[in-house]
């Protein structure tokens, strides 16, 4: 079995986190809805992968991480749809006022 270098994996994870935060902060509000649709598509792929990991014959700690990934991805998808819906409602004008 291969030895995993956890420090390198942690470094890559932290680097990806900071780069992701930097990219997301610079996105215009007008691009929010397309960005959320891409994010939901990526989260859907994560949901499928985490279901496979959680339901397969892996050691218990890996299945627990798969369940956590499933919960986080589903939370991201649902909240993404709710936020996008709220953003789209902001662009609709009041129909009663002229």
Do the Cβ atoms of 33 and 87 come closer than 8 Å? yes
Please check whether residue 16 lies inside any domain of the structure: no
Helix intervals (H) in the chain:
6-25, 32-55, 60-91
Please check whether residue 60 lies inside any domain of the structure: yes
Please check whether residue 46 lies inside any domain of the structure: yes
* Residue of 95, 83, 54 lying closest to 71 (CA atoms): 54
Please check whether residue 47 lies inside any domain of the structure: yes
Tell me 56's DSSP state: S
Please check whether residue 43 lies inside any domain of the structure: yes
**38 pLDDT above the threshold of 70:** yes
Please check whether residue 72 lies inside any domain of the structure: yes
Please check whether residue 24 lies inside any domain of the structure: no
Number of domains in the chain: 1
Residue 73's domain spans which residues?
Answer: 29-91
Do the Cβ atoms of 84 and 36 come closer than 8 Å? yes
Q: Write out pLDDT tens, residues 46-97.
A: 888 888 888 888 888 888 988 998 999 899 888 878 887 887 788 776 665 5
């Amino acid at each position: 079995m291969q030895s995993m270098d956890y420090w390198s994996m942690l470094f890559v994870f932290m680097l990806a986190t900071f780069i992701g935060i930097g990219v997301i902060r610079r996105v215009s509000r007008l691009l929010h809805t397309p960005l959320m649709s891409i994010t939901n598509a990526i989260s859907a792929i994560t949901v499928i992968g985490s279901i496979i990991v959680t339901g397969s014959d892996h050691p218990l700690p890996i299945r627990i991480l798969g369940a956590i990934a499933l919960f986080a991805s589903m939370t991201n998808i649902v909240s993404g749809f709710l936020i996008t819906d709220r953003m789209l409602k902001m662009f609709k004008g009041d129909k009663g006022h002229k």
